[in-house]
Amino acid sequence: MIDSILLVFMIIGLLGIGSQWVAWRYRLPAIVIMSIAGLLAGPILGFFNPEQDFGDLYKPIISMAVAIILFEGSLNLNFKEIKGLGRPVFRIVTLGAFISWILGSLAAHYVAGLSWPVAFVIGGLFIVTGPTVILPLLRQAKLKPRPAKILKWEGIIVDPIGALLAVFAYEIIVFLMGTELNPSVLILFFLASAFAVLLGWACGKGVGWMFEVGYVPEFLKSPFVFVVVIACFTIADEVTHETGLLSVTAMGMTLANMRVSSVAEMRHFKENISLLLISTIFVMLTASLTWDTLMEIFNLEIIGFVLLMLFFVRPLSIWLSTIGTDLRKSEKLLVGWIAPRGIVALAVSSYFAAVLLEEGFEDASILTSLTFALVFFTVVAHGFSIEWLAKKLNLSMEGPPGVVITGGSTLSAELGKTFKEIDVPVVIADSSWERLHKVRGVGIKSYHGEILSEQTDYHLDLTPYEYLIAATEYDSYNALVCTTFIPEFGRNNLYQLSLQNRQGDDLGDMGHTIGGRILFNEAATWESLNQKIENGYVFRKTNITAQYTFKDHEKNMDEETILLFVKKPSNKLQFFTTEMSPRVEEGDIIVSLMPPSKEFGRIQEKLEEQRNNHS
């Protein structure tokens, strides 16, 4: 065991973020890697046990982390997003949750062998999925918008509902076991739940109003929000246990639908904090399990319960609750299969295990093992199957990484046409129908609207696209677009045309953190590239082989040729920039912008070859 708490914190952080990196690098489910890392460091190798090491601080740390994660997830629940999906989402989080609770409770009693009171408590808790496990899977799978939105909304909304159902079932047990039946206990529970929702709404409205009127300075906004979130959670949770989750969800949804610009600007910062918390908390929870708990997982009753939850309870609850909605069979199949459990289930089940044991329910001793079995098997099964199943059901956006081009022009149209010819998805965005005319004329997908507008989030799905090229005539606008989309695309995948520096837009001295990478070469400005295309320059695609290497290509190039980008056999794109040139290898396709004289010469050579072959 490690004696230093500081060293334990460091190792937990390294394991959490390291697991995320390994998952990203090798395209594996992050939750699975984090679970394995926690199990290895905790019960298997015995390096540390966070629950013992942190003592009384362990549960408050978990609770606050869960509150922040759930709040951050609920900030994405803008009602505009589910336009056309309101009915199925509502049915799933209400009727579907209720059916899942009843069926899960029956399975817990008849298969896992739990008493009726314990079965109904744990059955309510097991309806949760949650943002801690759903959001990483959605990033990994690249689902189409409809199923992705349904899973996201269900995961975030049902999280507090599941915890409340468990509390409600427990209150029912206390009520029925009392010497005198006192309905005031149940009335107080419902009042406390209503108070939690009202508190969350009031906190959200208050924060939004203070931001809008300028009562909170810019540098204090993020800390201010986090303090209010923790206060909102704590106050509600002190009134009635687990209602704090409902409160922070209400607060996040309120802010998400107020259109407060400051909150939108902070969203990516909060996403980073949430990712850090998910990584560390999941490692802490799995590392705190004991060896006995792990061994208990392999009991036939527990395995049977998990299989029943996977293959019967979840699919049936989704199928029954969505009868009469416009969900297709493929969408029902996917949503009915994907239901991984996460941090909330693990954290809350340990609380109820202790409380129920104190009440004399000895069978509650297996709740931790039962919960971890369900969590681990669901994250493994769903984590490794979601991409495969989505592709089989044609619900995946998987394909070659695409390109977003901002700014309609001759250059954009011809560049987009070239991308399309080599099977790279492309969309060109512009707010002017006139500038999109040429784009639409060559059959390229276009988006009419301001790319920087909030409406873009709801009308343009960016999931299939990994690269963005800002190709308007305005350097400052190109820089702004690239800077805005850093969180979505990453700095390495954002590009803009060379600065023109002749139209009152001198950005040569701007900081390196602003804008994207400068494409091609310093002379390749918007004006010069469009002029070249109008003068007859053409885009040429060249296959690099063992017989025709990149050196051969360079020797045959005209000095006016501009090297644009390389498409790798893996479908990845690498662009030539002013800072670096990609390594061109056998099997690559290199795309260049060539002068018409060179292209005319090549056509003449091909015609001559054809004549010689016929003669």
pLDDT digits (tens, 9 = 90+) for 97-135: 899 999 999 999 999 989 888 898 888 888 888 666 777
* Total residues found in the chain within this entry: 615
Predicted local confidence at residue 271, as pLDDT = 67
- The pLDDT mean for the chain works out to 82
Neighbour-count burial of 425, counting CB atoms closer than 10 A to its CB (0-12 exposed, 13-18 middle, 19+ buried)? middle
**Residue 314: pLDDT band with limits 50, 70, 90:** very high
The strands making up 402-406's β-sheet, listed across from edge to edge, are 446-448, 426-430, 402-406, 465-470, 494-496, 517-518
Q: Domain check: are 347 and 385 in the same one?
A: yes
Q: Domain check: are 361 and 219 in the same one?
A: yes
**Residue 607: pLDDT band with limits 50, 70, 90:** low
Structurally, the chain folds into a number of domains equal to 2
User: Looking at residues 578-590, what average pLDDT do you find?
Assistant: 86
**Does residue 397 fall inside a structural domain?**
no
Predicted local confidence at residue 108, as pLDDT = 92
Number of helices (H) and strands (E) in the chain: give both, helices first.
27, 10
Does 342 or 330 have the greater pLDDT score?
Answer: 330
Rounded CA separation 50/205 (Å): 37
Q: Domain check: are 422 and 369 in the same one?
A: no
Token representation of residue 16? 């959490």
Q: Domain check: are 409 and 334 in the same one?
A: no
pLDDT in tens, 525-578: 888 888 888 888 888 888 888 888 888 888 877 778 888 888 988 888 889 888
Predicted local confidence at residue 235, as pLDDT = 93
Predicted local confidence at residue 263, as pLDDT = 66
Q: Domain check: are 215 and 265 in the same one?
A: yes
Does 545 or 488 have the greater pLDDT score?
Answer: 545
Residue with tokens 């644009």: 564
User: Looking at residues 375-398, what average pLDDT do you find?
Assistant: 85
Assess contact for 342 and 375: CB atoms under 8 A: yes
In terms of residue numbers, what domain contains 487?
A: 402-614
**Does residue 232 fall inside a structural domain?**
yes
Q: For the domain that residue 604 is a member of, what is the CATH number?
A: 3.40.50.720
Predicted local confidence at residue 130, as pLDDT = 67
User: Looking at residues 137-166, what average pLDDT do you find?
Assistant: 79
**Beta strands 589-594 and 538-543, pairing class:** antiparallel
Q: Percent of the chain at pLDDT above 70? A: 88
Q: Which of the listed residues 392, 413, 432 is the one where a domain comes to its end?
A: 392
For residues 129, 135, 136 and 137, what is the CA-based torsion angle, rounded to 10 degrees?
70
pLDDT in tens, 206-239: 998 998 888 888 888 888 888 999 999 999 988 8
Q: What angle do CA 319, 325, 329 make, to 5 degrees?
A: 50
Q: For the domain that residue 10 is a member of, what is the CATH number?
A: 1.20.1530.20
pTM of this structure = 0.71
pLDDT in tens, 386-396: 888 888 888 88
Q: Domain check: are 252 and 210 in the same one?
A: yes
Residue 261 has a CB neighbour count (10 Å cut-off) of: 11
Rounded CA separation 203/4 (Å): 38
**Residue 609: pLDDT band with limits 50, 70, 90:** low
Assess contact for 319 and 107: CB atoms under 8 A: no
Rounded CA separation 255/243 (Å): 19
Q: Per DSSP, what are the bridge partners of residue 426? A: 403
Residue with tokens 């949503």: 335
Predicted local confidence at residue 333, as pLDDT = 93
Of the listed ranges 90-99, 192-201, 258-267, the least confidently predicted one is 258-267
Q: Which of the listed residues 373, 392, 411 is the one where a domain comes to its end?
A: 392
pLDDT in tens, 278-300: 888 888 888 888 888 888 888 89
